Chain A
């Protein structure tokens, strides 16, 4: 049975909107030009590839269903599991199902803590027990290192091979399009003379493929990043957290965008009392400590969820509603920055002659705003959206850590960190949960920031080098 969670629906709607935007951009040269400049920068393409990988994971994790359990009653009414799974869960089935009893270190074959094990004949020893899945196929534990090396080599080899296939198909495609030889295309790509900075994209793809395949080949028999307190594979947790992070970043943006754009432009365009009211609202909103507001709102939501258990057939749906609500409340508190920026820009734009000319034609305010103001502030909107994204991913981690973020049953970077925090203090230290969350989040945020930089460089008219020269020449 397919389950459409609220956030799934919104995320796919957002994907559709983004696709529609790029289709529109593709047909308008002046809109496409800055995006082409984004693709010209190596940092841009590199981060785009990494973001795309995260995006794939997140989207695969946003197709939910409830698997049917073997027919318990009659065949006409199949019984569905209360557990909601996603396509990603299917793909990661071994990771999801290979659970240990408790902590185990990355790539370990034995548990992390000594346990009392009953041997046959009433003998009891305290030892580090073998794991149920981690390295269970090994006849001798001493073979572990060799086995790991072999698996890494195999995985990396497969990654490199796939990468080479990718490179070759790209080169033939370029060669056909530019009608040159593949060798010439090869030189163009590696000296960075192509119109799209393929070199950066290929480096990132190589890194991702090698790491991904090595991890995949290892994770068939090992817990690559160890297991957590209840024996869940940390790699699985990390991959599941990606969706939560992306969801917070993307949906919050979706919520805040209409507020920021509409109110910001209205304040700047109409001035007078409209401006006064909007400014008053966002100044007030800005003066309330954000965390307090979010905590209060999320707790209220939690009370509502707790008192209406009948509304939610599964825990996933409960957790999802709380996630959605978190996005909304984050969006409501976050629109002020962009709105203020747009107000300032609109104040400047509305005095420009082309808007005065439109007013002289009696063009309606709505048309002036949509045709003259909005297209001229779009670069600001795009720049601030990509820049806000990474901030929101980090904000989720902080809020969940504090306990007012996502539902505790939902896997996210914040809940991972929260769970890991006490284990840092114990001896011997359990470090891998925290490190895994850190590395995955760091890569996502770094890629998002690099991409934001590339976007800003391409869209901000002031940082463009070419125009500076042209100006100096006059």
Chain B
């Protein structure tokens, strides 16, 4: 028995998995989705599995519950819960385990709840199956559970249908359903990935609190090292269906041992790495179909030795409960981890440059139509008076939670959505006044990169057609030979070979598709690129490649970026200026240092406090945020933020505060800083 597979405190484990192996029959052959996984989770412990997409994390969880898809089957190993072997149980007995002994919550709360049943009914389903409660007692218990997960007015909410709940509330309801059977183990598969940071912080806090109260064990599956730092007691890193490192949390963040783990940390953007290139792994995650002998990471490892490709390394114990599967560490354990180890590169152009984009009181209002005659009964004020500036060769990050209108700002600057009011000055020309051909002529100057690399390329077009479309439409190159040359050039810029031109998008990975999307935007030689969350659908290692690419292109071509994101770490790494948006308005803006080091607006402070980080101490400084983003159709009177603001005053309800200048570049819209008004 491997040492690290034991529990931290040596007690009887709640869950014990040994040599679990799961295979999936795919069209490309058998995939070894889980390839010999050992783990033990003690009572009250949170065990986190981290890894990039496709590494087999979710398959591990589904194998434990025996809920594999049709093509999957468990080929070896054992899974026992409190000493009961699960893999040999008949299906009928297994149903008593699911929900009662092990419960699971999923990533997407919107699709995990049945939309035609009330929340109460869905909780009752579990109670009926696993408890003796019936009738009024059952209802009372359902209300109690909703109360326990922090849903206000639980007695009323119990009769609501899922569509009445917001995303965060739905995830709370999911947790209530999972808790209904009083499970010993909760499997949380990316429980907060679909949620905003402030909501994520609330849900993670809730899980920790429930764990403290019930002594429940949690198997947490995530790709987010921040969440791990926040939640886990022990961490396992998964790569290609295997654990490569298991360590206690502090040990893991202080001195990760496996080269893959260290690369993952290196690839994370943050303020410390500004002006440097993020370290990237070469190559791609190998296919799970081909299981070569030896270490699966060997092809991408900087320290690869001849024996790495010959035999699979066994566990090497390294101090208290820390184990790693690497030949290198058997002889030479690594020291503490130093984050800022990337290669230094030339800093971005400094000094004041010319203003390229000047947006003034931009408004985008969508009518709400109701009734037979579709009369307008109100307006969704998606963007309500936004002003911002982007300078040549600089990056402005627009930060905010989903639904705050940041994507709408991007699209209305491009005139893909026509603004209701305001000015979009680009190089001195107001784009909102341009129509037809006049606007088309300017379109070459500003382009956009989207979030989802799968939706942003037409699956029916070859790469060359995708790249030349813009040139043909805007006539930026003369003749097809010039367009073809330009396409080769673009592919070289984004690090793809010219041979890919004849291929279709489905033949590329997410990161490669995003490169093609960037090449397409560059095709018409734009001066401004609006990046709409370009890395949030990508894995950490791929994100690092794309961020490096964007940074390099900015340096090379003097591009300006309007970088729309919710990922503060990316902002710290890439941006020069930041604007924080809340409910259609910008509440604070300034340079990265000003806004992220000395945030003034209570919302900015709360947003930063909600970030789960490796260095956990940060969390204490600012208060966490309660509640959720109000509807932009009916924003609160006065300051939009006052209902959630911990420092709200009576005057906050009276009117929306004007922007107050704190320094040359720092502005905040909050009454707290009235006194400093100049």
Among A350-358, A381-389, A441-449, the stretch that binds chain B is A350-358
- Of A29, A359, A376, A469, the contact of B416 (CB 8 Å cutoff): A359
| Minimum distance in angstroms from B421 CB to a CB of chain A | 20
Q: Determine whether B25 belongs to the interface, using a CB cutoff of 8 Å to chain A.
A: yes
Which residues on the B side are within 8 Å of A367 (C-beta)? 473
Q: A361-B524, A472-B69 are in contact. Are A354 and B457 (CB under 8 A)?
A: yes
- Which positions 433-474 of chain A face chain B at CB distance < 8 Å? 465-466, 468-470, 472-474
* Given A30-B504, A356-B411: A376 and B469 interface contact (C-beta under 8 Å): no
List chain B residues, Cβ under 8 A from A361: 443, 447, 469-470, 473-474, 524
Q: When the two chains form their complex, are residues B447 and A354 in contact, meaning their CB atoms are under 8 A apart?
A: no
Given contacts A362-B473, A473-B288, contact A371 B461 (CB under 8 A): yes
Query: Which of A29, A357, A372 interacts with B450 by CB under 8 Å?
Result: A357
Residue B59 CB within 8 A of the other chain? yes
Tell me the nearest residue of chain B to A472, going by C-beta. B69
Chain B interface residue count: which class? Answer: 35 or more
Interface residues of B in 447-467 (CB under 8 A from A): 447-448, 450-452, 455-461
Is B26 in the interface zone, CB < 8 Å from A?
yes
Q: B197 at interface (Cβ–Cβ under 8 A)? A: no
The answer, yes or no, to whether A56 is at the interface (CB within 8 Å) is no
Q: Which residue of A lies closest to B58 (CB)?
A: A474
Q: Range of interface residues on chain A?
A: 20 to 34
Residue contact A362 to B440, C-beta cutoff 8 Å: yes
Which one, B31, B71, B455, B460, contacts A353 given CB within 8 A? B455
Answer whether A30 and B54 are a contact pair too, CB < 8 Å, given A356-B448, A362-B473.
Answer: no
A216 to B153, CA, bound (A): 82
Q: Mark B511-543, 1 if CB is under 8 A from A, else 0.
A: 000000100110010000000000000000000
Contacts of A30 in B (CB 8 A): 459-460, 504
Q: Which of A359, A361, A371, A469 lies at the interface centre, i.e. has the most chain B CB atoms within 10 A of its CB?
A: A361
Distance between B481 CB and nearest chain A CB, rounded to angstroms: 20
**With an 8 A cutoff between CB atoms, is B27 at the interface?**
yes
Q: Does A344 contact B (CB under 8 A)?
A: no
The answer to whether B72 touches A363 (Cβ under 8 A) is no
Interface of A is mostly: helix
Chain B residue nearest to A359 in the complex (CB): B416
When C-beta atoms are compared, the residue in chain A nearest to B457 turns out to be A354
Distance in angstroms between the alpha carbons of A375 and B520 in the assembled complex: 20
Cβ of A142 within 8 Å of any chain B Cβ, yes or no, is no
Chain A CB within 8 A of B439 CB: yes
- In the bound assembly, the distance between CA atoms of A352 and B414 in angstroms comes to 16
- Complex CA gap A468/B439 in Å reads 43
By a CB distance below 8 angstroms, the chain B residues around A119 are: none
A466 to B24, CA, bound (A): 11
Instruction: Check B31 against A473 for contact (C-beta < 8 Å).
Output: yes
Instruction: Judge whether B450 and A473 touch: CB under 8 Å.
Output: no
B53 interfacial by beta-carbon distance below 8 Å: yes
Does chain B have a CB within 8 A of A429? Answer: no
Given the known A-B contacts A376-B459, A473-B54, are A357 and B448 also in contact in the complex, defined by CB atoms under 8 Å? yes
CA of A474 to CA of B56, assembled, Å:
7
- Answer yes or no: B568 CB below 8 A from chain A CBs: no
Q: How far is the CA of A327 from the CA of B520 in the complex (A)?
A: 46
B145 within 8 A of A: no
List of A residues within 8 angstroms of B27 by Cβ: 465-466, 469-470
Min C-beta distance of A468 to chain B, whole Å: 7
A473 to B26 alpha-carbon distance, docked (Å): 9
Are B460 and A376 interface neighbours, CB within 8 A?
Answer: yes
Q: Which residues of A contact B185 (CB under 8 A)?
A: none
A363 in contact with B469 (CB, 8 Å): yes
**In this assembly, does A364 line the interface, its C-beta being within 8 Å of a C-beta of chain B?**
yes
From the candidates B69, B71, B443, B473, name the one contacting A364 in the complex (CB within 8 A).
B473
Please name all residues of chain A whose beta carbon is closer than 8 Å to the beta carbon of B440 when the two chains form the complex: 362
A75, CB-defined interface residue at 8 Å: no
Are A360 and B416 in contact, with the CB atoms below 8 A?
A: yes
Q: In angstroms, how far is the closest chain B Cβ from the Cβ of A459?
A: 13
Tell me, in angstroms, the Cα distance from A446 to B639 when the chains sit together: 67
Q: Does any Cβ of A come within 8 Å of B33's Cβ?
A: yes
Considering the complex, give the chain A residue whose CB is closest to the CB of B53. Answer: A474
Closest to A376 in B: B460
| Per-residue contact bits, chain B 582-601, to A (CB 8 Å; 1 contact, 0 not) | 00000000000000000000
Bound: A352/B451 CA distance, A? 11
Contact residues of A between 27 and 54, Cβ < 8 Å to B: 29-30
Cα–Cα distance between A376 and B457 once the two chains are bound (Å): 12
In the bound complex, CA of A362 to CA of B458 (Å): 16
CA distance A362 to B415 in the complex (A): 10
Q: Is there contact, CB below 8 Å, between A353 and B26?
A: no
| Neighbouring A residues of B26 by C-beta, 8 Å | 466, 469-470, 473
A465 contacts across to B, CB distance below 8 A: 27, 71
Given A357-B448, A361-B443, A361-B524, also A473-B24 (CB < 8 A): yes
Cα–Cα, bound, A362→B470 (Å) = 8
**What are the residues of chain A within 8 A of B450 when measuring CB–CB?**
353, 356-357
Contact present for A352 and B474 (CB under 8 Å)? no
- Please state if B452 and A360 are interface contacts (CB–CB under 8 Å): no
In the bound complex, what is the Cα–Cα distance between A161 and B411 (angstroms)? 69
Do A472 and B24 touch across chains, with their CB atoms under 8 A apart? yes
Q: How far is the CA of A376 from the CA of B504 in the complex (A)?
A: 14
Tell me the A residues contacting B by CB distance below 8 Å: 29-30, 352-354, 356-364, 367, 371-372, 375-376, 465-466, 468-470, 472-474
Q: Closest 6 interchain pairs by CB?
A: A466-B27, A362-B440, A353-B456, A353-B450, A375-B460, A361-B470
Query: 12 additional contacts, CB 8 Å, given A469-B25, A474-B53?
Result: A30-B504, A352-B455, A357-B456, A360-B447, A360-B448, A363-B470, A371-B461, A376-B459, A465-B27, A465-B71, A470-B26, A473-B288
Q: Using a CB–CB distance below 8 Å, which chain B residues touch chain A?
A: 24-27, 31, 33, 53-54, 58-59, 69, 71-72, 288, 411, 414, 416, 439-440, 443, 446-448, 450-452, 455-461, 469-470, 473-474, 504, 517, 520-521, 524
30 A-B residue pairs with Cβ-Cβ distance under 8 Å, sorted by A, are A30-B459, A354-B456, A354-B457, A356-B448, A356-B450, A357-B456, A359-B416, A361-B443, A361-B470, A361-B524, A362-B474, A364-B473, A371-B458, A372-B461, A375-B461, A376-B458, A376-B459, A465-B27, A469-B25, A469-B26, A469-B69, A469-B71, A470-B27, A472-B24, A472-B69, A472-B71, A473-B31, A473-B59, A474-B54, A474-B58
